[in-house]
Structure 1
Amino acid sequence: MSEHLPPADGDPPWAELPAEVSEAIRPHVSEIVEQIIAAIQRDVPAYSRPLEGDFGTAVRRGVEVALSRLLLELPGRAEPALSADDRLVYQQLGRGEARTGRPLEALLAAYRIGARVAFRSTSQVAVDEGLDPTVLLPLGESIFVYVDELSATSVEAFADEQFRQVGERDRRRGALLELIVSGRVDEAEMRTQAAEAAWTVPSDVVVAVLPLEDADGLRVALGDAALVRARNQHAVALMHAPVGARGRAEIDRLLGQRRAWVGPARHWTRAGDSLRAALSGLAAEGDDAPAASGARWVDDHLADLLLGADPELMADLARRRLAPLDDLRDSQRQRLAETLLSWLRHRGERAKVAAELHVHPQTVGYRVSQLRDVFADDLDDPQIRFELEMVLRAGHR
């Protein structure tokens, strides 16, 4: 960490302090420590409780180390503000704040108050001991530069601890997700891991999958209620199952324009089923989906996903059922296949077929006559009509 050096000559301000400062202040250090601690307890609400146990020991040691280092060791020396051992003290204070969940501002406020009390008390001692008044300026500058260094050290340690906690928390939550979707988990074990990961176990869940390139910021977007894990090719999010249309709309909002597939709601013991369904949707979509298309729910595409569940078998059925079209020109085959699908879908209602295909009803009648010539009695067989509609809906022509 860089030292806070005055621009004039490159030496820290305590290098200008005469050794007499240390000798004058030494008998008063314990008293100043108590004054600082009393002021911190009075003026920092987070520290207003009795300074007992590890917490009290850490605060008192921080004050004692600061005063001893700055006022008894550094005067007259162009040394860094903190020794290696001293730095550990203020790193531990920063980490301690992160671990207790207190905002860092409480510790920084304590440092500022300590600096103010230290300057007031040491200035009074300097005057009482008859020291040259010119020492007051470098004394004050030394105190505030030193406290800046303490603050920077604690801030860095606080941030490192938060980062470590987030990483450990994400690791636990990712492992919990994999445990749940595996389907091979004892409930007591799962609930223990959920508690360690700070995750509330719902009765029902949904699982969303999305390409990794669409997963940036996903953990933040979904919040603590979701478990998120990145895999090799995609990201997985396990969420509380939505309640009603409003709950579903909220998940849509949280996912935003990410290209996600959301599996059906299942009891948490069957979360793997929801994951497999969502993966089926993502696989069926392939690379054809437009970017920023938003979430798709498996429940809205069940028929299409079933039709594409076994492409090889569907292709075999298509070759068999559409064989009567093999001798037609490609353009004619395409036109009659589209007409056949619309005719099957609308149960032969000519007006609806014409509206869907944007042609005249007489044109529909002409094409249906062609289809009857090609397929003959097959169009009157309910089973064959069902199979024809399946292969045409699956995209075969």
Structure 2
Amino acid sequence: MNLSSQDNTSPHPLAGGPPPPEVGDTSHAQRSHGAGEAGQAGGPPEPPWLSLPPELAQLLAPAVPAVVEQIIETVPNQIPAYQLARTERFSHVLFLGVQGALEQLLSLPGTDHPALNEESRQLVAALGAGEFRQGRSMDALLAAYRTSARITFRGLSEACARLGLPMEVVVDLGETILAYIDELSAVSVQAYAVEQSAHAGALEMRRADLIAALVAGGAELHEVRRLASGADWHLPQQMAAAVFPLAAAAGIRTRLGTSGIVVERESEAMAIVAVPHAERLRPRLQEVFAGSSAVLGPSVPWEAVPHSHRVAQLVAAQLPLAEPTDPGDPVFASDHLSQIILGSEPQVMADLAARRLAPLEVLGEAKRRVLEETLLLWLVHWGQRLPVARELGIHAQTVGYRVAKLKDLFGGDLDDPEVRFELELVLRARQASEGQTTGAG
């Protein structure tokens, strides 16, 4: 019995050619056996289609149009991502793609050719890249491949049954279809990833350009809007700059989502964050920047981003960012504006301290520190002894003794409002400086 059990009224597709192999012909089994030996010998495994009869393509050709039609009808109906895209042009492109894929599949039986030739590989890669450009995930295309594989195997295996082909041909055909779809999927996924990576790289460059323009200042509104559009970001009315360690960038980028842009620089990372109502959004910002030791500048309009960035940097310089292994809560610069003032001109502050605290230089280090601490609290509490005593944990009489000592040293200067202001200023600056040194250590 031949591969095709056809009567005289139905001519064999290979009429005029060499006679097809008999069902009991051992050539098919010999080819399968040889393929297995090749794989066991350490070389690359033979493709499953090598074991198929070369004439199979002609035998199955009449079944192909029905398979193509069913795929075109089924795929858009079963995969939601393609339902909205189902236009006349989409249907035409789908028809050409499915027909080309089946032609390539049926060119494989009896050969050791790769699943895809150069032309079909480029077409399949274009499908994967196109999915990304259309804003779809790879799930839709992979589902389309799987659906098409099932329909193809069902249609061609039924044709095999009508032709009376041996079961091993049907098995090898099924394995061939699976291997073919695996290759289509792999090529498409790789092309999708390449397109995604290229887009991400270009997008990151455009976002870096946008942040650079905002931080530098001086750009026209139409230019900033153009850069924001290229960076795929809606320019908010109010925003804030944030600075944080490089190690925190990936996590912040993920948590921030579309509400901000993160870029990485040589020594730090920074972000521009949409904050229309900074105080109302503080819990959300604390969540986004949790564990990052980020410093967030004040909320400003787009043209004042340089100010927000500068303030964040000034606070960060006086509150050193924690190491990645020592995460800290985010810092809101608006809570530390006085520290910026105190630390903005350290040499000027040092000169003022040397002048105003000169009376204490006659004392030893320990006694000087005790009196400086007492003097600052006495100035803060407007000369009230009890609050000073409570904060220092000492008796009010001890506070009185220390204040008397201070008045002896400073004389009438403690009665001068301007001197008292400058003393509080330099003592607060020294306290902040010592606190910073302690925290850094």
State TM-score, norm by structure 1.
0.92
52, 76, 96: which one pairs with 1:17? 52
In structure 2, distance between residues paired with 1:97 and 1:301: 49
Q: Which amino acid is 1:279 matched to?
A: Q
Q: SS at 1:80's partner residue? A: coil
**Structure 1 gaps, min length 5:** 1-5
AA matched with 2:53: P
SS of the equivalent of 2:273 reads strand
* 328 and 238 in structure 1: CA distance in 2 versus 1, 3 angstrom threshold: same
Higher Cα radius of gyration: 2
- Cα pair distance change 1:286/1:113, threshold 3 Å: closer
Deviation at 1:117, TM superposition (A): 1.7
Kindly provide the amino acid, as one letter, of the partner of residue 380 in structure 1. Answer: D
The secondary structure found in structure 2 opposite 1:394 is: helix
Cα pair distance change 1:43/1:260, threshold 3 Å: closer
Identity among equivalent positions (%) equals 42
2:171 aligns to what? 137
Q: Please tell me whether residue 128 in structure 1 is matched to residue 169 in structure 2.
A: no
- Answer yes or no: is the 8 Å Cα contact 2:203–2:231 preserved in 1: yes
Counterparts of 2:248 and 2:76 in 1: how far apart (Å)?
Answer: 49
- The answer to whether residue 320 in structure 2 is matched with residue 304 in structure 1 is no
The question of whether the paired residues in 1 share the 8 Å contact of 2:318 and 2:339 is answered with no
How much does 1:371 deviate?
Answer: 0.6
Q: 2:79 pairs with 25, 40, 44, which one?
A: 44
What's the Cα RMSD here? 2.2
- How far the C-alpha of 1:310 sits from its partner, in A, is 0.3
In 2: Cα distance, 1:154 partner to 1:93 partner: 6
Q: Distance in 2 between matches of 1:57 and 1:170?
A: 36
Deviation string 1:236-269 (CA, Å, 9 cap, x unpaired) is: 1111125263311211111112111111121111
1:173 aligns with 2:207: yes
Deviation at 1:305, TM superposition (A): 1.4
Which of 394, 402, 405 aligns to 1:359? It is: 394
Conserved? CA contact 2:293–2:322, under 8 Å: no
How far 1:122 moved relative to its partner? Answer: 1.6
Shift of 1:191: 1.3
Instruction: Give the match for residue 99 of structure 1.
Output: 133
Match of 1:394 among 429, 434, 437: 429
Shift of 1:294: 1.0
Q: Is the 8 A contact 1:21 1:126 kept in 2?
A: no
- Aligned: 1:239 with 2:270: no
Give 1:79 shift: 2.4
Alignment TM-score, normalising by the size of structure 2: 0.83
Shift of 1:50: 4.0
Determine which of 95, 105, 110 is the counterpart of 1:60: 95
Corresponding residue for residue 188 of structure 1: 222
CA–CA separation in structure 2 for the residues paired with 1:129 and 1:388: 104
Which segment drifts farther, 323-332 or 101-110?
A: 101-110
Give 1:286 deviation, angstroms.
3.1
In the TM superposition, what is the alpha-carbon distance from 1:320 to its structure 2 partner?
0.7
Deviations 1:105-130 (A, max 9, x none): 22112111211221122223333334
| Distance (Å, rounded) in 2 between the aligned partners of 1:41 and 1:221 | 34
Indicate the SS of the match to 2:55.
helix
CA distance in 2, matches of 1:173, 1:219: 13
Deviation at 1:271, TM superposition (A): 0.9
Report the secondary structure of 1:347's partner residue. coil
Structure 1 residue 359 displacement after superposition: 0.9
Name the structure 2 match of 1:87.
121
- Report the Cα distance in structure 1 between the residues aligned to 2:59 and 2:333, rounded to whole angstroms: 79
Task: Tell me the distance in 1 between the aligned counterparts of 2:352 and 2:383.
Answer: 23
3-state SS, counterpart of residue 392 of structure 1: helix
Distance between the aligned counterparts of 1:189 and 1:216, measured in 2?
A: 28
Report how many residues are paired: 390
Indicate the SS of the match to 2:410.
helix
When residues 7 and 211 of structure 1 are mapped into structure 2, their CA distance, relative to the original with a 3 A threshold, is: farther
Contact 2:48 2:176 in 1 (8 A): yes
Where structure 2 has 5 or more consecutive residues not aligned to the other structure, the ranges are 1-34, 40-44, 435-441
The answer to whether the 8 A contact 1:212-1:233 is kept is: yes
Identify the residue that residue 286 of structure 1 maps to in structure 2.
320
What letter corresponds to residue 277 of structure 2 in structure 1?
A: V
Quote the residue 1:113 is aligned against: 147
Where relative contact order (Cα < 8 A, 6+ residues apart) is larger, the structure is 1
Paired letter, 1:207: A
Give the drift of 1:14: 0.4
Of the three residues 220, 234, 243, the one matched with 1:200 is: 234
Answering whether residue 413 of structure 2 is matched by residue 378 of structure 1, we say yes
Q: 1:325 aligns with which of 352, 360, 375?
A: 360
- Which region of structure 1 is more displaced relative to structure 2, 94-103 or 281-290? 281-290
In 2, the alpha carbon distance for the partners of 1:288 and 1:393 equals 23
What letter corresponds to residue 423 of structure 2 in structure 1? L
Report the Cα distance in structure 2 between the residues aligned to 1:25 and 1:358, rounded to whole angstroms.
97
Deviates more, 1:282-291 or 1:268-277: 282-291
